[in-house]
Amino acid sequence: MTVATVDGIEYLEKNRLLVEDLLRRFLPSEDAKPQSLHRAMRYSTLAGGKRLRPILALAAYQYCGGRPENAESTIYPAMAALEMVHTYSLIHDDLPCMDDDDLRRGIPTCHKKFGEATAVLAGDALHVVAFQLMAQTGSPQAVIELAEAIGTGGMLGGQVADVEAEGRPSNTEQEVEYIHTHKTGMLIRGSVRIGALLANADRETLDRLTAYGLKIGLAFQIIDDILDIEGDQRKLGKQVGSDTKNQKATYPGVIGMPASKEKASRLIDQALALVDTDDDNILKFLARFIGQREN
Amino acid sequence: MTVATVDGIEYLEKNRLLVEDLLRRFLPSEDAKPQSLHRAMRYSTLAGGKRLRPILALAAYQYCGGRPENAESTIYPAMAALEMVHTYSLIHDDLPCMDDDDLRRGIPTCHKKFGEATAVLAGDALHVVAFQLMAQTGSPQAVIELAEAIGTGGMLGGQVADVEAEGRPSNTEQEVEYIHTHKTGMLIRGSVRIGALLANADRETLDRLTAYGLKIGLAFQIIDDILDIEGDQRKLGKQVGSDTKNQKATYPGVIGMPASKEKASRLIDQALALVDTDDDNILKFLARFIGQREN
């Protein structure tokens, strides 16, 4: 998709609002029973954020020629599903038995606001709605892609490795790469793949976008590590320095700050080369955007 | 399906072993990374149990004429999925912030054995594998059924109501019925429906089996309440009296023991009438079995 006329920032803002609309529509209503759980689900999911995963899925769908008239029954529910699994993972990650975080996107975390039991169940419930929405695309393959992205071979594998690496005196680059590609990379890769699949992309394009997704996904998490040291707390909406405090395995911790920045920058360049199919397209813009993000 | 020649107990035992085999096969290996998580998933899922939900799904599949040669690609992964979501719900239900149980099926609960963080993630991971397996049946409708059975309009709705009703001085029969039909009934109903759907049951049969599933599901949970008071701790593999200790909303607590027994018995009779299509079939046996269970 050539978007020479579309400004990237405008695309991002327009589709962030689209994602907000989809989430409002697909999340269960606070008026329906069980109200307390629906309130917690909506609180955490509608607390803002860049909505990067659904926007990446949409951009991949468009890049692969997915038709606008099919969006409502395919990519739209998939977009909401991707943001909901992301939110579920954050809610469980923030729990006292996990990272024990009090603040997320500038407001109290789900368990701080609603209690631990409700936070566990709200995460579980978002997990269910996400799969329900993905099944509504009519594609069992999209459901399987989502499961692979967030299962023990994906996001959950990364979360476990992340917890287990905490406080370990000597993590290797290989270990940190495993954590980052799984914890963050696999869902970003999965978002791109699901968008491509729902547009019936050919095999060559799907493979290329898969590599693109993995590279921007790893870059995203390396930059997360960097921002936790050099970032602006106000822009981030969460406390900086938490990785150091929690003795997390990070790229700067293992290979140093200059090498981490260089690695992130190299990954973005490689990602750009993979989608260099025309002068300007949104996947290129999104790769650059991730490379330069400040929150 | 007429099974005049098949003894019900034999059917139950044969298929309990089939479920164990399927679970062993479909659960991720302890040799694969992340080993600690896979170990926790296998520990809780392979700890025994009646395997009632997958057996009900299989019985419904057979009752509706599902073909044995299609079982491997349809009902088998669905059976494993149903048992995995059941296990995930037990792991999260047992957590300190929920029911805080130390013992399940006669052995330490997942968080007692592996710690709280691993227990949260093991539940999440079983949740994912279950949806992955359900998608492997090739039926998006089966995935949606599963989501409806365990979402906020199903099991999770019941769990929230259960937690919220704890310690409340006056629960009504209506409230307890809501908790029981949702917390337990909806997944049992869903198991029967998924079996019927995967066998391409006609609408009339599907509706009839749906009603059957809801009735045995409610009876199952009422009998659970009864066994928590009158049951044999050794047979149950868990402590009795926990409902009273936790001030749970129960049928005996609200309508008394005799009326609870009568209600369970009436529900079983109604369920039997719904599947009274030939002299003897497994769905009839299973309804009677639930009515007489001691663990």
User: Cβ–Cβ of A33/B136 closer than 8 Å?
Assistant: no
Which residues, including other chains, have CB under 8 Å from residue B44's CB and lie 6 or more apart? Answer: B87, B90, B91, B104, B110, B122, B126
- Among A127, A131, A151, beta carbon nearest to B143: A131
- Has the ipTM of the complex gone over 0.90? yes
What pLDDT sits at residue A4? 44
Q: Which tens digits make up the pLDDT trace of B124-162?
A: 999 999 999 999 999 999 999 999 999 999 999 999 999
Provide the mean pLDDT of chain B: 93
Across the A/B interface, how many CB contacts are shorter than 8 Å? 147
How far B214 CA lies from chain A's nearest CA (Å)?
A: 19
Residue A104 bridge partners (DSSP): A107
Give the start-to-end residue ranges of the domains of chain A.
8-292
Residues 53-112 of A with CB under 8 A from B: 92, 95, 97-98
Two structure tokens written together for B172: 């009504």
pLDDT over 60 at B207, yes or no: yes
Positions in chain A short of pLDDT 70: 1-6, 278-279
Lowest-pLDDT choice from A183-187, B168-172, B178-182: B168-172
Spatial separation of the C-alpha atoms in residues B54 and B20, rounded to whole Å: 10
Does the pLDDT value for residue B1 go beyond 80? no
Q: Are A51 and A83 in contact (CB under 8 A)?
A: yes
Residue B121 has pLDDT above 80, yes or no: yes
Cβ of B124 within 8 Å of Cβ of A127? The answer is: yes
Per-residue 3-state assignment (H helix, E strand, C coil) for chain B? CCCCCCCHHHHHHHHHHHHHHHHHHHCCCCCCCCHHHHHHHHHHHCCCCCCHHHHHHHHHHHHCCCCHHHHHHCHHHHHHHHHHHHHHHHHHHHCCCCCCCCEECCEECHHHHHCHHHHHHHHHHHHHHHHHHHHHCCCHHHHHHHHHHHCCCCHHHHHHHHHHHCCCCCCCHHHHHHHHHHHHHHHHHHHHHHHHHHCCCCHHHHHHHHHHHHHHHHHHHHHHHHHHHHCCHHHHCCCCCHHHHCCCCCHHHHHCHHHHHHHHHHHHHHHHHHCCCCCCCHHHHHHHHHHHCCC
When CB atoms are compared, the residue of A41, A115, A152 closest to B37 is A152
pLDDT digits (tens, 9 = 90+) for B8-53: 899 999 999 999 999 999 999 999 999 999 999 999 999 999 999 9
pLDDT at residue number A68: 97
Which residues of chain B have a CB within 8 Å of the CB of A157? 33-34, 37
Contacts of A163 in chain B (CB under 8 A): 117, 121
Task: State in Å, rounded, how far the first CA of chain A is from the last one.
Answer: 27
Q: Are A126 and A87 in contact (CB under 8 A)?
A: yes
β-sheet bridge partners, residue B104: B107
Q: Does B30 touch chain A (CB under 8 A)?
A: no
pLDDT of residue B214: 97
The share of chain B scoring above pLDDT 70, in percent, equals 97
Confidence of residue B245 (pLDDT cuts 50, 70, 90): confident
Q: Which residue in chain A has the smallest CA separation from B139?
A: A140
Q: Could B131 and A131 be called an inter-chain contact, meaning their C-beta atoms sit closer than 8 Å? A: yes
Interface contact A124-B97, CB threshold 8 A: no
Which residues in chain A have their CB less than 8 angstroms from residue B143's CB?
131-132, 134-135, 140, 143
Give bridge partners of residue B107 from the DSSP assignment.
B104
Chain B nearest-CA distance from A98, in A, is 6
Q: What is the pLDDT of residue B265?
A: 97
Å from A51 to nearest chain B CA?
Answer: 22
Structure token pair of residue B141? 């409708």
Q: List B residues 142-161 in contact with A (Cβ-Cβ < 8 A).
A: 143-144, 146-148, 150-153, 156-157, 159-161
Residue in A42, A146, A160 to test binding to B, most B beta-carbons within 10 Å: A160
**What integer pLDDT is reported at residue A196 of this predicted model?**
98
Best mutation target, B93, B95, B100, B120, to test chain A (most A CBs within 10 A): B120
Tens digits of residue pLDDT in A210-250 = 999 999 999 999 999 999 999 887 777 777 888 888 888 99
Architecture of domain B8-292 in CATH?
Orthogonal Bundle (1.10)
B105 vs B192: which has the higher pLDDT: B192
Pick A38's closest partner by Cβ from B137, B146, B152: B152
